[in-house]
Structures are given as structure tokens and as C-alpha cells.
Amino acid sequence: MKTGDITQRSLGDDHFSSHTHETELFAKRVKAVAEPAAPIIPDRYDEDRCALLMVNPHRLFFYWELSRETRLRYGIGDESSFSLCIMQGGRTVVCKEVHGDLGSYYVAVDEPFAKLYATLSWTDENGVVHVLLRSKEFKIGSDLLRYGEGEIWYDKNGGILLHASLSDELPGSATSMSSVSCQPKP
């Protein structure tokens, strides 16, 4: 028998090469014991929650999610806009319009060593402002993580944001990558 004949014969319906035969058996075994699909991580958890994170001394990151219950209680529609405000005490540091009951936003701030918190509010059709979420207050420049000697922080264009020197450090001048979670506003 020639090599070509063996190949042709192995491709027929009643003959399988050892490779094809083993592959088919393996596929049947796997199909028979297949486990159910792994659970998919949800896009949202339907809870009122938010988080405020310091990215660097001049930039904060805010994440929020409003529950269906809160949206229904206040009559918040799908296309509603909200006010994200960074506050120091009772003073507004910066306020931005944001959209969606689930989202995130980067906020530029220039408040070194200030105690800040964030609020997410919505204004109803009567002009009444409802504070829906409020973060816990935290101080930019806490002692959780100290700068290393000579550490330099750059912005995306290569400009120097911070050049740390422990010998020049003033009390309270260390900065952290701090995050605080938000509590639903009753």
C-alpha cells in the first residue's frame, strides 16, 4: 500500500487516523462533563455608593452608582444630569455637571493639604437640590504614604507636578494615594 492510499483510506467515514479519533473522543468526553458557565461580574450592584480617590496632589477621581430605588424615589430619569462638587467645609472648590446614574469622573483641584469631600446632587423640576451621595472627608496630604527622597511626579506632558525632598519637607506635606467611600445621603 502506498503512502497516499493510507492517507485517503484514513479520511474515509469508516476509518479515522489516530489523531482524528482521539480528538473526537476527547470532544465527546469534555461535552459530557462540561460545567455550567462561570458567573458574569455585573456592571452594577444596584446600590447607592461612590468612591473618591486622590490620583496625585492635583487630581481626584470620583466614581458613583445610584440604585434603582433612589432613582424612583426622586423621579430621576435616564437622561438626567447631576452636579459633582468637591467641597472644603461649606465652600465649593469645584463643581462639574456629570451624566448618568453610574459613572466616573476626574476632577482637577489645587487645594494642597485641604480637607475635601465630594457630593453628587440632582436638581428636580421645581429647582430643589437633592444631595444624593456624600463622601467622607479626607485630607490631601495624609501621612499614609510618604514621598521618597528625590521622587518626581510628572504630568502627561512631561511637566513636573511635584519634586519631593525629605530635607525640605514641612509638617503634613506627605501625600497619599487615599480613597474614601461615600455614604448614601438619607
Asked whether residue 14 falls in the same domain as residue 59, the answer is no
- Residue 53, domain extent: 49-184
pLDDT beyond 90 at 43: no
Asked whether residue 89 falls in the same domain as residue 12, the answer is no
pLDDT beyond 70 at 171: no
Higher pLDDT, 59 or 148: 59
Q: How confident is the model at residue 142 (pLDDT cuts 50, 70, 90)?
A: very low
Amino acid code (one letter) for 172? G
Asked whether residue 24 falls in the same domain as residue 71, the answer is no
Asked whether residue 54 falls in the same domain as residue 28, the answer is no
Contact 149, 157 (CB under 8 A): no
Selection from 64, 99, 60, 107 nearest residue 82 by Cα: 99
The domain that holds 70 is classified in CATH as: 2.60.40.10
What pLDDT sits at residue 128? 96
Per-residue pLDDT, averaged over 69-77, amounts to 95
E-strand stretches of the chain = 49-56, 59-65, 81-88, 91-99, 102-108, 115-123, 129-135, 138-139, 152-154, 160-163, 179-184
Report pLDDT digits (tens) over 11-39.
555 555 555 556 666 666 666 666 666 77
Asked whether residue 85 falls in the same domain as residue 20, the answer is no
Asked whether residue 62 falls in the same domain as residue 118, the answer is yes
Cα 58 to the center of its chain, rounded Å: 19
Asked whether residue 77 falls in the same domain as residue 109, the answer is yes
Report pLDDT digits (tens) over 98-135.
999 999 999 988 888 889 999 999 999 999 999 999 99
pTM above 0.75, yes or no: no
Per-residue pLDDT, averaged over 86-98, amounts to 94
The total domain count for the chain is 2
pLDDT beyond 70 at 7: no
